[in-house]
């Protein structure tokens, strides 16, 4: 039994797209997405809504094997007609468990000099968007600096984000997701652990 997707796809996907755009254009701001959906097991509400909004038959999706072969994979194939790929470099979108050791962010498609926009957008599911280690953000879309305190990121994840940012204009864009909340960390954002 596959759970329903959007009940009003046009209105709900437009609202979600605006929230996703705000998350990536104003890095570090908490955006809420609502769609009154029951996400499949393994996907946060925000992750499921983002994929319903962005993924389609032209955008391959990478999921961890347990999700790919379970209800989440079936739900995405049904609602988005998205191809689920084994190779992270083939993915337009990907979902990671923030605490999992693999794959590294560098394993995904970083784009090319001609087409930096064809890199993977990675949705990282974490335990909480607040209450963790403080990170200081700077860069485009941030007046001065902005602080976030995500919980549930594996050791070395912030270093991976810094290495990704050093590749700009190449590199992946990251969305942190938990519940119905999203925080965008595009490749242009400089990230430091607060001291």
**pLDDT tens track for 68-123:** 999 999 999 999 999 999 999 999 999 999 999 899 999 999 999 999 999 999 99
Tens digit of each residue's pLDDT, the chain (195 residues): 788 888 888 888 899 999 999 999 999 999 999 878 889 999 999 999 999 999 999 999 999 999 999 999 999 999 999 999 999 999 999 999 999 989 999 999 999 999 999 999 999 999 999 999 999 999 999 999 999 999 999 999 999 999 999 999 999 999 999 999 999 999 999 999 876
Residue 86's domain is classified under what CATH number? 3.40.50.11310
Cβ atoms within 10 Å, residue 142: 17
| Residue whose C-alpha is closest to residue 95's, from 139, 130, 59, 132 | 59
Number of domains the chain contains:
1
The answer to whether the bond into 125 is cis (omega within 30° of 0) is no
Length of the chain: 195
Under 8 Å between Cβ of 176 and 44: no
Q: Which residue has the tokens 């400089």?
A: 190
Is 4 part of a structural domain of the chain?
no
Would you call 72 exposed, middle or buried from its count of C-beta atoms within 10 A (0-12, 13-18, 19+)?
A: buried
Tell me the Ramachandran region of residue 2: left when phi exceeds 0, alpha when psi lies from -120 to 50, beta otherwise.
beta
What is the structure's pLDDT at 194?
A: 74
Is 2 part of a structural domain of the chain?
no
Q: Which residues pair with 128 in a beta bridge?
A: 151
Is 130 part of a structural domain of the chain?
yes
pTM reported for the whole predicted model: 0.95
DSSP 45: H
Q: Which residues pair with 183 in a beta bridge?
A: 30, 176
**In this structure, what token pair is assigned to residue 174?**
């990251």
Quote the domain boundaries for residue 77. Answer: 9-193
What is the structure's pLDDT at 5?
A: 85
CA–CA separation, 92 and 147 (whole Å): 28
First vs last Cα of the chain: how many Å apart?
49
132 Cβ neighbours under 8 A, 6+ residues apart: 149, 150, 151, 152, 153
Is 3 part of a structural domain of the chain?
no
Is 48 part of a structural domain of the chain?
yes
CA dihedral for 24, 83, 165, 159, sign (positive or negative): positive
């Amino acid at each position: 039994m596959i759970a329903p997707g959007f009940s009003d796809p046009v209105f709900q996907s437009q609202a979600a797209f605006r929230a996703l755009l705000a998350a990536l254009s104003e890095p570090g701001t908490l955006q809420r997405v609502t769609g009154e959906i029951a996400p499949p097991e393994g996907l946060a509400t925000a992750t499921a809504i983002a994929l319903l909004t962005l993924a389609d038959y032209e955008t391959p999706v990478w999921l961890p094997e347990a999700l790919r072969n379970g209800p989440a994979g079936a739900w995405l194939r049904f609602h988005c007609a998205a191809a689920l790929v084994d190779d992270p470099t083939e993915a337009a979108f990907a979902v990671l468990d923030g605490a999992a050791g693999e794959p590294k962010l560098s394993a995904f498609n970083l784009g090319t000099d001609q087409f930096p926009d064809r890199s993977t957008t990675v949705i990282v599911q974490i335990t909480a968007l607040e209450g963790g280690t403080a990170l200081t953000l700077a860069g485009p879309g941030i007046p001065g600096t902005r602080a976030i305190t995500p919980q549930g990121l594996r050791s070395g994840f912030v270093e991976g984000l810094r290495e990704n940012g050093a590749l700009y204009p190449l590199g992946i864009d990251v969305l942190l997701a938990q519940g119905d909340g999203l925080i965008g960390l595009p490749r242009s954002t400089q990230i430091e652990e607060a001291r």
